[in-house]
Amino acid sequence: MEEGELFAIETFGSTGRGYAVEQGVCSHYAKNPGQHPSPRTTVAKKLLSTINKNFGTLPFCRRYIDRLGETQYYLGLKNLVDSGIVNAYPPLHDVKGSYTAQFEHTFILRPTVKEVLSRGDDY
């Protein structure tokens, strides 16, 4: 860690054992930054164009794609995930019946202090 660098710290809280694992049907995704090979299928190419236009590298869920009017894109999405163009983020689970939540803070290292950039009135 060096002065001027930015960092994000994500923590996960749970009402269960406190050990969250990825499990279940995935609904959240994010495009990997950088250059990638062209998708193999027409459906994947069309979906990637939609992702680039509407989300870039910001996370999105299938519901957002549905709201954009896209249909029959599941195999294209699978192709994008399998080829590493898009990352899949499955839900986090602990023990059955418990709740799991994610918290994040972004901070920068200054010469004499660590400044939290994401701190607000509520957190």
87-113 tens-digit pLDDT: 999 888 899 889 888 888 899 988 888
E strands, 76-120, in order? 86-89, 92-93, 100-109, 114-116
What's the longest Cα–Cα distance across the chain?
Answer: 54
Taking the model in full, what pTM does it have?
0.72
Read off the pLDDT band of 63 (50, 70, 90): very high
Residue 7: both structure tokens together: 């960092």
Q: How far apart are the first and last CA of the chain?
A: 24
**In the prediction, which pLDDT does 5 show?**
87
Read off the pLDDT band of 123 (50, 70, 90): low
Q: Please, which residues bridge with residue 114 across strands?
A: 109
Please, where are the H alpha helices in the chain? 42-54, 62-67, 74-82
Mean pLDDT across the chain, nearest whole number?
A: 90
92 three-class SS: strand
